[in-house]
Structure 1
Amino acid sequence: MGEIKWMQDRVYGLMVHYLSHIMPKEGEKRQSWDEMTATFPIQQFCDAVADSGAGWVIFPLGQNTGYYCSENAVLEQYWPGKCSQRDLMLELAEALSERDIKLIVYLPSEVDAAPEEERKALGWEQDSHDKSVFMERYMGIIRYWSQKFGKLVSGWWFDGCYNAGEKTFTRTHSWDNTRFDYLRWQMAARDGNPDAVIAMCPGAEDMRYVFRDQDYLAGEANTLNHLNEGPLIDGMQWHCLVWLDCFWMHGKEPGEIVPPRFSDQEVTDFALQCQQQKGAITWNVGIYEDGVMAEKTLEQIREVKKNIENSRITG
């Protein structure tokens, strides 16, 4: 597909790991997944995104917890009762669209770390290498969501696209990227929107493409040391996803999310360099059980917004 103009123009987006086990700001965690999603403050969340200057949001449909935030009839056939009663993702997509903010949905490309019941239901362990049973079922699940969301979803970010033998945290080490038929993933994810862009992530600090045909670099990073240092394969879009406060999610214990770990100047400099090189950034921001993002981190991103706007005026 080549460069993605809307990513370049908007410069940065936000990601949150809103999952069933994230913690509250204070008090004990008590809410079930349905209680959490039922009270998620969509308008407040979208207002905060808009105020931050973010051009897109990466939001998880689910990630190895056994719970998903959007109805899916195909998933229900295999593993019933795991989709939230409220279709949070659909409502979020509609609210972001009203504000002209793009939505990229997040899903793992595997369920190796998911509950045993889910692994069995989706056929993950029925074949050790090519994962053909899992792929057949998972493609149907992705296609259902893609058809439902249509053009409300502008992209997909698939995690876990790595060779398991290289990762010490996997349960088994017999599967690798030969399990992918990328065209099938592309067809399923784009069934509802042929213009949706796709990234597949080979792991943290690995700034490589998994497939030549994917649209943008997943770019999962732990630092601000990564910049586009030259032309990419077929001119595909350079992109970096980096966490600013808690390590991806607020999942250890209740309490206030830690402050941003980089200075405003460091984050601004990185954003401006990426902008100059036609790159794109997604800032991962901590989020509480009640759906409220870390305010100190949002303050920093608003400062970056101001600095980028000033650079455009003076530049």
Structure 2
Amino acid sequence: MKNNFWILAFGLIMLSSCKKPEKYNVSLVGDLYAKNIVGLPLDFPNGKENLEYSWYMASAPSGDWSELQGIWTDEIVLLTSYVGNYIKCDISYNEQGSDKKKRVSVVSSQPVEYKGNANTDWFQDAGFGIMVHYLKEAIVPDGGAEEWNKIVDGFNVDKFASQVNEAGARYVMFTLGQNSGYYCAPNKAFDKAIGIGAGELCSERDLPKDLIKALNKYNIPLILYLPSNPPINNKHVSEKLKYAFKKDSATSQFNQPILENMIKEWSLRYADGVKGWWFDGLYAWNDIRSTRMNMSLRHNISTHTLAAKSGNKKSIVTYNSGFGKIHGNTPYDDYTSGEKATIDEYPSGRWAEDGVQWFLFTYLGEKWGGHGQQFSTDSLVNKAEIIVNNKGVLCLEVVTDATGEIIPGHFDQIKAVGEKLRK
């Protein structure tokens, strides 16, 4: 979709006792459609200090403004609940060297509109992709940094990308890491928080970066997988991040900013090379969801989402609610998390709810990471065809060996699916 830049009306209110208000040509940038991001231009803070942002919505520019709690950043994700409302941002600041507070109020020139979610167009067009759990605990459970780096170095991205293309899968979801504390990409924010050197837990090789390059040859997008919480199976990491060891539990205002810094570092590095994020474990039963959705906290679902989208504002995100009927889990979802033990549900259309692409995610094996096959090939092909023909998106977890080669049984099945969908 062509990117439109909306110039929005503004007013200025002085919080100091100056005689005349100063004038600033301040405007917001972005499309006024639900599920998009709008924000202030990068050059706004010239000579200004201690910037603070508050966001509001109202049914009319002269109406009663209600504050959007928990949104304190210079950007905002426009939710479907904002549709039909005008958006206002109050920016308070000090001029350099002054202790007098000033405020600029920026009001949208028109209300937020709903036009589906164009950011998911490529995803719906793709229809079918695969996922790989490339994790230390699954591939090299014994040993430490030396063994992990050796394994990551041995992943053949060109062979993997060639297999994906041959199979007809049109996107890949890939794990950065999960519960062991080991990641397949460098991350300075994580190393600093844990107090370790490069290569000790985060691999020295940047595997996602190499994957992006290899997959781009075939125009195959990449989605990255991460849990919504810190690793739970590494005692040292749990202690440093002040998080419960071997127990899923709510994040805190100590470790949540660290998670966001990690995600933002990766997002900025990969930019539009990463088209989406799948965040695991935002469950109700472990209090992670309720804490992340608590908008009285400074770090919340909005700051988490903006961190993920910092490198690519058009990237799509979802937060996993766990097994169950396919549905949106948060107002920030661009697509359903769709975790299922099998394929037993089908879309009636593209949207699971307004702006949320219907998506189902299951495993080919007898369990997550299983080498067997839960589906007969004919049954799998038929199920995939129904989903894609009804404008849903399907993701099948496959198992690879340490070098990234998809095991034969799984490769044969996804190839059969790809061949059918190409026809």
Moved more, 115-124 or 58-67: 115-124
Matched, 1:183 2:302: yes
Quote the residue 2:281 is aligned against. 160
Offset of residue 121 of structure 1 = 2.0
Considering only aligned residues, what root-mean-square deviation do their CA atoms show, in Å?
Answer: 2.2
Quote the residue 2:417 is aligned against. 304
Question: Does structure 2 retain, via aligned residues, the 8 Å contact 1:125–1:131?
Answer: no
> 181, 185, 193: which is aligned to 2:312?
193
Identity across aligned pairs (percent)? 29
SS in 1 for 2:314: coil
Partner amino acid, structure 1, of 2:378 = Q
Gaps of 5+ in 1: 166-173, 251-256, 311-315
Quote the residue 1:288 is aligned against. 401
Structure 1 CA distance for aligned equivalents of residues 306 and 212 of structure 2: 21
Superposition map of 1:1-315 within 5 A: 1=35, 2-3=116-117, 4-23=120-139, 32-79=147-194, 80=196, 81-111=200-230, 113-125=232-244, 131-165=252-286, 175-180=288-293, 181-229=300-348, 231-249=351-369, 257-258=371-372, 260-310=373-423
Which structure: greater strand fraction? 2
Change (3 A) 1:176 1:275: closer
Partner amino acid, structure 2, of 1:142 = I
Deviation per CA, 1:139-178: give whole Å up to 9, x if none: 111101001010100000000000235xxxxxxxx65433
**How many residue pairs end up in the alignment?**
291
Question: Does structure 1 retain, via aligned residues, the 8 Å contact 2:327–2:353?
Answer: no
Structure 2 CA distance for aligned equivalents of residues 246 and 192 of structure 1: 36
Gaps of 5+ in 2: 1-34, 36-115, 294-299
Moved more, 44-53 or 283-292: 283-292
Question: Does structure 1 retain, via aligned residues, the 8 Å contact 2:400–2:407?
Answer: yes
Question: Does structure 2 retain, via aligned residues, the 8 Å contact 1:22–1:289?
Answer: no
Structure 2 CA distance for aligned equivalents of residues 49 and 110 of structure 1: 30
Question: Does structure 2 retain, via aligned residues, the 8 Å contact 1:12–1:280?
Answer: yes
SS in 2 for 1:289: coil
Structure 2 CA distance for aligned equivalents of residues 92 and 129 of structure 1: 32
Offset of residue 37 of structure 1 = 0.3
Partner amino acid, structure 2, of 1:245 = G
Question: Does structure 1 retain, via aligned residues, the 8 Å contact 2:231–2:237?
Answer: no
Moved more, 202-211 or 133-142: 202-211
- The structure with the largest alpha-carbon Rg is 2
Offset of residue 112 of structure 1 = 6.0
Deviation per CA, 1:199-244: give whole Å up to 9, x if none: 1101123422221221000101111102124652214100011100
SS in 2 for 1:59: strand
Question: Does structure 2 retain, via aligned residues, the 8 Å contact 1:22–1:288?
Answer: no
TM-score by length of 1: 0.86
Structure 1 CA distance for aligned equivalents of residues 235 and 283 of structure 2: 21
Point out which structure has higher relative CO (alpha carbons under 8 A, 6+ apart): 1
Partner amino acid, structure 1, of 2:307 = A
Deviation per CA, 1:68-122: give whole Å up to 9, x if none: 0111111110122211011111111121122210000000001363312112222
Question: Does structure 1 retain, via aligned residues, the 8 Å contact 2:183–2:201?
Answer: yes
Structure 2 CA distance for aligned equivalents of residues 246 and 89 of structure 1: 27
Offset of residue 129 of structure 1 = 5.0
Which structure: greater helix fraction? 1
SS in 1 for 2:179: coil
